[in-house]
Structure 1
Amino acid sequence: MFFDWDMEHERAIDSQDRLRLVYAQPQVEQEWSAQKRLAALILWRAAYDRDLLIDDVELSSIRSYYNPTLGPRLLHDGPSPAVATKPMDGGGPFSELLHQVAVILDPHAVLDTRKTQRVGPSTTVGYRVRELRSTPGWFEGDWKTDLTIARDYRESAWQKREDGSWQITPEDLQAAAQASPAEPAYDYPTVPIGPDGYRLWLQGAHHLVMVGTTLSAVANTLPRTADGYLGPLAMVLSGHAGACHSLSESANDIDRLWAAEPVQPRDLSYWDLSYVPDSLREQTEEIKTLIHELRVWLAVLAP
């Protein structure tokens, strides 16, 4: 994730540009792979040395591993995972590779010295990854485009219903009833509301991911058009499912972190503050709104 962020934001190389560069200069793929492997090794070593999950490593603690003086000794002398047995084959000296990785990681490692407004725990690797993943305006965080696409599908289907190019069938009505999202039960994980009335973020996110799974399943039951394409309702359901599934990776991350807790944390809001960035909360709330809109739309779909 840090490598991809650097490529798109610092080097201004998007996914299409990457393909063109690899085609024109095949050696760059080896160079990029070496950078990613060394970055992964640094994060792994920081976690190993502290007996932590990589997700829980404070980003500010990784700087010594790419320090030009300390880094080579720390990385050469210590343990490494089997997949990192050759982290230094980028086509140049190790010092140069280490500098390249420092340029990738350091903007994230120094965040806490620059973001004086954040209250709570220090920024961890996992927190920052989830923050980047839910930051709009780039390939990995393009969830706002997912919302726009879902709403466009809904508007297009409604226009087809109005002009008669989409004749709603009994199968459509049955699918709409099956797909209509239920109100959230907040039953996973089974955590009571906190004394302050706070509800764990994961409960709402898990519900939305499950809604996405249901929408996809129902969409797949609908017949295709004579040309083999998805019909209007299937497009609507699939588009909204995609928006819900944009939460899947972060929800899975946080599910694993919650399961790793030896005892249930007393302060749920502080626990969430440690793992759920504001951008991910915003994404979740926007998707909740989208699904509410879908629920209303499905309810008035029948002629």
Structure 2
Amino acid sequence: MDREPVDRDTWEAWHRAVYGCGAWERACRQAELLVAWHDLQGFALGGSAVRAGARPGPRVKWPWRTGPFTVGLLFWRAAHDTGVLVDRATLVDALRLCEPAATALAAGPVPDDADLHWAGIGSVAAVAAVGRVVRAHLADGEQQFAVTLGHRARELRATPDWDRGDWQTPVLLARRAMGRTDDLRAAGAWRPTAEERSAAGRTGPDLERVTARTPVPADGPPAWVVRAARVARLGPALTAVADRLPGGADGRPGPLAEVLGAAAGACAWLSTGADELAREWEWERERGSSPDRPADPQAWELAQVPAALRTQIEETEQLLGAVGVFLWQVVVSG
């Protein structure tokens, strides 16, 4: 929606409240993620593509050494000009700033804390070159609405085909830990102690509450935000239980502690995203809407929670459901 202009101090305060940092720092963090994904796809941004499937890493050279910062400046400027959070700037708005007829970024409003004279950040050549980064993300992401920077970043962090979105590995490790522990118990190599059975009995109901999908109040946050938060909050609780359990003679965690620790690791992959979603929803409800256009949880959810993240939430919930069954088996095994 169109928004009234906001003063710079208020706009910056919004970012510190939601993300714990200023708008420029947030823009650079998100831009670095977009550029890292782009590089990994096999594109050398300064020229020809590298071998498909290669992991370029440091071999990919930015001719002007400013790629991530210029991408960050695109989104900072798009958000600044429309009076929204950086994460709410759309990829289309950022791409418009790359058009030949657009005013040079360095000639317009710029972040107070950015040295744009270093190596040509925001120059015409730099902006023209990073346009292909934004186009690549537009072509790869969800297409049914105007994709925002925040939506695309969350989509990348929930995409398992690269290391920054590899949430499936901790889920797999947790399932393998349960399998090993079941094998040990079946072979008589591990019998849960009274302390372990007690811990399993106390922890099981916590998992049930997370996986029960209790209806969300109509005036509460969107359902996916609540589900992500429930999973993320469970991680530290599982870690605390695992840390209190006795370890093996070799100093390593015991079988039950290993399972709980691995499950906590899977939950941790949702921690940052869940917190940010909750704070963004509060911003939308309190400041991003208006009396005549109140925040719509379903519409907001569609625009802010990508399908990849929904899959991550669902599969982590399914893991926790399996851990709950495992804990019940531990309780009755004595």
TM-score (structure 2 length as normaliser): 0.74
Q: Is the counterpart of residue 183 in structure 1 residue 208 in structure 2? A: yes
Corresponding residue number in structure 2 for 1:290: 319
Corresponding residue number in structure 1 for 2:57: 18
2-side partners of 1:243 and 1:291: how far apart?
A: 9
Amino acid at match of 1:137: D
Label 1:273 to 1:235 Cα distance change in 2 as closer, same or farther (>3 A). same
Q: Is the counterpart of residue 216 in structure 1 residue 255 in structure 2? A: no
| Unmatched segments (≥5 aa) in structure 1 | 23-27
Label 1:10 to 1:88 Cα distance change in 2 as closer, same or farther (>3 A). farther
Question: Does the CA contact (< 8 Å) of 2:229 and 2:274 recur in 1?
Answer: yes
In the TM superposition, what is the alpha-carbon distance from 1:256 to its structure 2 partner? 1.5
| Unmatched segments (≥5 aa) in structure 2 | 1-32, 44-52
In the TM superposition, what is the alpha-carbon distance from 1:296 to its structure 2 partner? 0.7
Question: Does the CA contact (< 8 Å) of 1:219 and 1:233 recur in 2?
Answer: yes
Corresponding residue number in structure 1 for 2:13: none
Label 1:218 to 1:33 Cα distance change in 2 as closer, same or farther (>3 A). farther
Label 1:270 to 1:279 Cα distance change in 2 as closer, same or farther (>3 A). same
2-side partners of 1:93 and 1:46: how far apart?
A: 13
Label 1:59 to 1:146 Cα distance change in 2 as closer, same or farther (>3 A). same
Q: Is the counterpart of residue 239 in structure 1 residue 271 in structure 2? A: no
Deviations 1:179-227 (A, max 9, x none): 32343379xxx96237xxx962111111111111211111111233222
Q: Is the counterpart of residue 168 in structure 1 residue 195 in structure 2? A: no
Corresponding residue number in structure 2 for 1:46: 78
In the TM superposition, what is the alpha-carbon distance from 1:299 to its structure 2 partner? 0.3
Corresponding residue number in structure 1 for 2:307: 278
**1:193 counterpart SS class:** coil
**2:66 counterpart SS class:** helix
Q: Is the counterpart of residue 34 in structure 1 residue 66 in structure 2? A: yes
Q: Is the counterpart of residue 193 in structure 1 residue 223 in structure 2? A: no
Label 1:93 to 1:44 Cα distance change in 2 as closer, same or farther (>3 A). closer
Corresponding residue number in structure 1 for 2:162: 138
Amino acid at match of 2:236: T
Corresponding residue number in structure 2 for 1:152: 176
Amino acid at match of 2:252: Y
Between Structure 1 and Structure 2, how many residues are aligned?
A: 281
Question: Does the CA contact (< 8 Å) of 1:61 and 1:109 recur in 2?
Answer: no
Label 1:154 to 1:207 Cα distance change in 2 as closer, same or farther (>3 A). same
Q: Is the counterpart of residue 76 in structure 1 residue 106 in structure 2? A: yes
In the TM superposition, what is the alpha-carbon distance from 1:43 to its structure 2 partner? 0.8
Give the one of 144, 149, 171 matched to 1:125: 149
Label 1:13 to 1:217 Cα distance change in 2 as closer, same or farther (>3 A). farther
1-side partners of 2:280 and 2:320: how far apart?
A: 27
Between 261-270 and 244-253, the greater mean CA deviation after superposition = 261-270
Deviations 1:45-78 (A, max 9, x none): 11111111011112111113233453xx431111
2-side partners of 1:248 and 1:230: how far apart?
A: 23
Corresponding residue number in structure 1 for 2:18: none
Label 1:237 to 1:59 Cα distance change in 2 as closer, same or farther (>3 A). same
Corresponding residue number in structure 2 for 1:25: none
